[in-house]
């Protein structure tokens, strides 16, 4: 579903990649339950209308792990490094009327996601915004992962250790190439990407909510703060685990934070 705001045309996509059995002649935007597998290939498509040929159109996108971008059936650009977003001018590829942007994405291990923004300025200088809400799909998967990791533990300290062991296992199974796309993209946000910042902030808020649920405290503000500490440690754990190629940063953080959880529990 998309919504139209009178600011600029931006097509925002953050999608967890899922398996596709073969190249589809007429690919659709795909997202589904289930974990992406190594060497999965998926196909996405976004169709939209333009009243005239745009004056400017800039695509910015990144994929964990690689993607190829097609505009109206023509291959335009590729990306192979999730931490270095691809930026490409697309105005010469767009036409008045119906336009189709398609992406072939490939996963090389563990979790996968694709994120992109297309900014357009019309010939008369007017600007709009079209946003798809696919980030919700990815964030709800993360919420489910976090909730499942802690649901089997009974005490606060056991919940913390279970959570961080789950993330350690996740990065180890992904050969330390796994990251959190929602948080990673924040490192490259500038003033022109404010709509994306808001969407990512909402996703991180979902993570905080599910963590906080497992640590009820008499002082709700303190409980929220503790959930924030855990989330900050998780995001930092991704960075260290990838750099050190080890799940140890998650396990160490989990052990220390478990002690804190035991002291803070009512």
* φ, ψ at 32 (rounded to 5°): -160, 165
pLDDT band for position 138 (50/70/90)? Answer: low
Over the stretch 88-104, which tens digit does the pLDDT of each residue have? 899 999 999 999 888 88
> What's this model's pTM, rounded to 2 decimal places?
0.62
Secondary structure of residue 34 in the 3-state scheme: coil
Integer Cα distance of 196 and 190 in angstroms = 10
Q: Which of 202, 204, 217, 197 is nearest to 266 (CA)?
A: 217
Yes or no: is domain 2-133 CATH 3.40.50.720?
Answer: no
Tell me the average pLDDT across 193-208. 79
Q: What superfamily does domain 136-264 belong to in CATH?
A: Tetracycline Repressor, domain 2 (1.10.357.10)
Over the stretch 201-213, which tens digit does the pLDDT of each residue have? 888 999 999 999 9
pLDDT band for position 131 (50/70/90)? Answer: very low
Domains 2-133 and 136-264 share a fold: no
pLDDT band for position 71 (50/70/90)? Answer: very high
Residue 36 in contact with residue 22, Cβ under 8 Å?
no
Domain boundaries of the chain, sorted by first residue: 2-133, 136-264
């Amino acid at each position: 579903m998309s919504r139209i705001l009178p600011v600029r045309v931006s097509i925002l996509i953050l999608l967890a990649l899922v398996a596709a059995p073969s190249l589809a002649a007429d690919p659709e935007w795909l997202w589904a339950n289930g974990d992406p597998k190594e060497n999965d290939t998926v196909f996405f498509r976004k169709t939209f209308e333009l009243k005239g040929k745009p004056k400017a159109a800039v695509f910015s996108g990144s994929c964990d792990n690689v993607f190829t971008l097609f505009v109206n059936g023509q291959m335009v650009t590729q990306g192979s490094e999730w931490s270095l977003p691809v930026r490409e001018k697309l105005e010469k590829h767009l036409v008045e009327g119906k336009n189709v942007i398609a992406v072939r994405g490939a996963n090389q291990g563990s979790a996968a996601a694709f994120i992109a923004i297309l900014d357009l300025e019309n010939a008369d200088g007017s600007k709009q915004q079209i946003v798809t809400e696919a980030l919700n799909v990815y964030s709800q998967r993360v919420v489910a992962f976090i909730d499942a990791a802690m649901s089997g533990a009974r005490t606060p300290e056991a919940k913390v250790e279970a959570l961080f062991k789950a993330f350690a296992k996740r990065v180890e199974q992904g050969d330390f190439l796994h990251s959190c796309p929602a948080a990673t993209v924040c490192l490259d946000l500038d003033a022109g990407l404010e709509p994306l910042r808001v969407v990512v902030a909402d996703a991180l808020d979902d993570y905080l909510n599910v963590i906080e649920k497992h640590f009820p405290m008499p002082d709700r503000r303190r409980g929220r703060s503790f959930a924030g500490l855990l989330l900050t440690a998780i995001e930092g754990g991704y960075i260290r685990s990838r750099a050190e190629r080890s799940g140890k940063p998650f396990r160490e953080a989990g052990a220390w934070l478990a002690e804190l959880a035991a002291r803070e529990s009512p």
